[in-house]
Structure 1
Amino acid sequence: MDPRSEVLLRQRELFAGRVLLAGPPADDLLGQLPEALTWNWHAGHQQRLQARFAGRNSYGTEVPEIEFDHAVLFLPKSRELTDYLLNALAARLHGGTLYLVGEKRAGIERAAKQLAAFGQPRKLDNARHCQLWQVQVNQAPKAPDLQALAQPFSLDLADGPLQVISLPGVFSHGRLDRGSALLLEHLDDIPHGRLLDFGCGAGIIGAVLKRRYPHSEVVMLDVDAFAVRSSRMTLAANGLDAEVISGDGIDAAPGQLAAIISNPPFHQGVHTHYQASETLIERAAQHLSPGGEMRLVANAFLRYPPLIEAHLGHCQTLANADGFRIYRARRG
């Protein structure tokens, strides 16, 4: 059981009735709170919860259109996303109760100060290296317009400017990260055919691929609903057409790919996880056509070449700069 869920269950009597759990982990909390419902934007958590507790889960970037008496927000990593989620929930809870739970290392005490906009915050519990806060929503805000919170920026590329639309919570919100910048310099000679941008984020790599290889089918995949929506907005801003799908890891990708191009994720919340990247490398061959290529950027300290060669083939280093490396390997 996630420690945040354990803290909630220490105050179980508060969460009777129809409580909306926003961004919960995929644990047994729904089994302990039989009337609770969830709203998730992580496709993996949604999939696992739906498999166990069918009909009690919603997925997307907007508060679901369902009835609930009170809500609990599991603190996300991004401050901008926290602000959007708190306001979106509070807008539906005039006179109701909003709870915030999170790890101390994730900044729960700082985030709890944001509750003061709705009423008088109160700390209810402090255990398992987590805190639980409560506020009676006496000052319900206007429902936030997520699209208005998007942060657009422009990239000056060799083939012309690219307009990028970034939503709160999306990786490298509002700017180009160093890894993607290096990868953009090494997108020549991509095989023609169906191309996958794995972990598409705000859609920068996928949009560039579609513009540079217009006759190739481009598929963009991310586990995060805000990233999926950002990618679609980026494509629209540049007049490009590609398929954007939501799914948990490479297993959600189509087959018969000519190439997989990725700046793979290695963070989940405040913790560092490499599972998605390692699983991508281990299973890439199952999704690539014979002769298909995987090209990815990774921190230089990660020992990916032996893993790539064990599961795909000879690993070539195309670039090594700014603490990142570009790797390329082809399926035999």
Structure 2
Amino acid sequence: MDPRSEVLLRQADLFQRPVLLAGLPADDLLGALPQASGWTWHAGDQAAADSRFPGRSHFGTTPPATPFGAAVLFLPKSRELADYLLAALAARLPGGDLFVVGEKRGGIERAAKQLAPYGKPRKLDNARHCQLWQVTVEQAPAEPDLLRLAQRYRLELADGPLDVVSLPGVFSHGRLDRGTALLLQHLEDLPRGHILDFGCGAGVLGAVLKRRYPDSRLTLLDVDAFAAASSRLTLEANGLEAEVITATGIRGAPGELAAIVSNPPFHQGVHTHYGATEELLRQAREHLSPGGEMRLVANSFLRYPPLIEYHLGPCQTLAEGDGFRIYRARRS
């Protein structure tokens, strides 16, 4: 059981009613709280909930339409995302109870300040290196407009400007990260055909690829609903069309790909997590056509070439700079 869920269950009497668990982990919490429902924006957590508690979890960037009398937010790493989620929940709970639970290293100690606009916050519990806070919503806000919270910026590229739209919680929110900046300089000579942008984030790579390879089919994949929504907005802002999907990892990707291009994720919440990338390296061969190529950027200290060569084929370092390396390998 996730330690945040354990803290909730120490106060289980508070949650024996219709309560929405926003950002809930993939554990047994729904089983322990029979009147609760879930809301998640993580495709893997949604798949886990669907398999164990069918029909009890909602996936997306907005709360479910079904009514709820109280809500618990599992505090996300991003403060901008937390602010949006709290406002979205508080708007549905005038006079109701809003709870926040999180790890100390995840920023839960700022919860009192974040809850203060809605009422008088109070700490209910402090255990398992986590805290649980509660506020009765006395000042319910208007429902927040997620699009108005987007950050927009323009990249001046060799083939023209690219407009990027980034929603709260998306990787490198509102700016271009160094790894992607390096990879953008090394996208030439990709095989033509179906190209996958794995871990698409705000859709920078996918949009650039679609513009440079207009005759290729482009699919953008991410585990996060906010990232998928951002990618769709970035594509639309540049007059481009491509498929955007959410899936837990490379296993959810199409097959017979000509190329996989990625700045792969390495964080899950406040934790460093390389599982999705390592699975990509192990499984890429199954999704690439013969002669298909994988091209990715990674921190220089990560020992990915031996893993790439074991599962796919000879690995070439195309470039190195600013603490990152660009790797290329082709399926034989």
TM-score by length of 1: 1.00
**1:240 Cα deviation after fit:** 0.2
Matched, 1:233 2:206: no
Query: How does 1:256-271 map onto structure 2 within 5 Å?
Result: 256-271=256-271
Structure 1 runs (4+) greater than 6 angstroms displaced: none
SS at match of 1:102: strand
Q: Distance in 2 between matches of 1:166 and 1:213?
A: 23
Structure-2 residue corresponding to 1:284: 284
Structure-1 residue corresponding to 2:324: 324
Cα contact 1:46–1:57 (8 A) shared by 2:
yes
Q: Distance in 2 between matches of 1:269 and 1:219?
A: 25
Any gaps of 5 or more consecutive residues in structure 2?
none
Q: Distance in 1 between matches of 2:66 and 2:252?
A: 28
Q: Distance in 1 between matches of 2:204 and 2:248?
A: 20
Structure-2 residue corresponding to 1:12: 12
Residue identity opposite 1:108 in structure 2: I
Matched, 1:150 2:142: no
Q: Distance in 1 between matches of 2:8 and 2:140?
A: 24
**1:110 Cα deviation after fit:** 1.1
Query: How does 1:32-51 map onto structure 2 within 5 Å?
Result: 32-51=32-51
**1:111 Cα deviation after fit:** 3.0
Structure-2 residue corresponding to 1:129: 129
**1:113 Cα deviation after fit:** 1.2
Cα contact 2:199–2:265 (8 A) shared by 1:
yes
Residue identity opposite 1:227 in structure 2: A
Query: How does 1:235-314 map onto structure 2 within 5 Å?
Result: 235-314=235-314
Structure-1 residue corresponding to 2:186: 186
Any gaps of 5 or more consecutive residues in structure 1?
none
SS at match of 1:88: helix
Q: Distance in 1 between matches of 2:178 and 2:70?
A: 41
Residue identity opposite 1:170 in structure 2: V
Residue identity opposite 2:114 in structure 1: Q
Q: CA offsets per residue over residues 235-272 of structure 1, 9 Å max, x none?
A: 00000000000110000100000000000000011100
Residue identity opposite 1:112 in structure 2: A
Residue identity opposite 2:118 in structure 1: F
Q: Distance in 2 between matches of 1:269 and 1:39?
A: 16
**1:187 Cα deviation after fit:** 0.2
Q: CA offsets per residue over residues 69-128 of structure 1, 9 Å max, x none?
A: 100000000000000000000000000000000000011011331100000000000000
**1:17 Cα deviation after fit:** 1.1
Query: How does 1:96-111 map onto structure 2 within 5 Å?
Result: 96-111=96-111
Cα contact 1:235–1:241 (8 A) shared by 2:
yes
Q: Distance in 2 between matches of 1:282 and 1:227?
A: 24
Q: CA offsets per residue over residues 257-311 of structure 1, 9 Å max, x none?
A: 0000000000011100000000000000000000000000000000000000000
Structure-2 residue corresponding to 1:27: 27
Query: How does 1:37-186 map onto structure 2 within 5 Å?
Result: 37-186=37-186
Q: Distance in 1 between matches of 2:310 and 2:271?
A: 27
Residue identity opposite 2:243 in structure 1: E
Structure-1 residue corresponding to 2:195: 195
Cα contact 1:95–1:138 (8 A) shared by 2:
yes
Cα contact 2:183–2:297 (8 A) shared by 1:
yes
Cα contact 1:79–1:111 (8 A) shared by 2:
no
Cα RMSD for the two superposed structures: 0.4
Q: CA offsets per residue over residues 22-42 of structure 1, 9 Å max, x none?
A: 001000000100110000000
Residue identity opposite 2:15 in structure 1: F
Aligned length: 332
**1:58 Cα deviation after fit:** 0.3
Structure-1 residue corresponding to 2:3: 3
Cα contact 1:72–1:98 (8 A) shared by 2:
yes
Q: Distance in 2 between matches of 1:112 and 1:182?
A: 40
TM-score by length of 2: 1.00
SS at match of 2:116: helix
Residue identity opposite 2:17 in structure 1: G
Cα contact 2:258–2:293 (8 A) shared by 1:
yes
Residue identity opposite 1:213 in structure 2: Y
Q: Distance in 2 between matches of 1:102 and 1:218?
A: 37
Residue identity opposite 1:65 in structure 2: A
Q: Distance in 1 between matches of 2:256 and 2:75?
A: 38
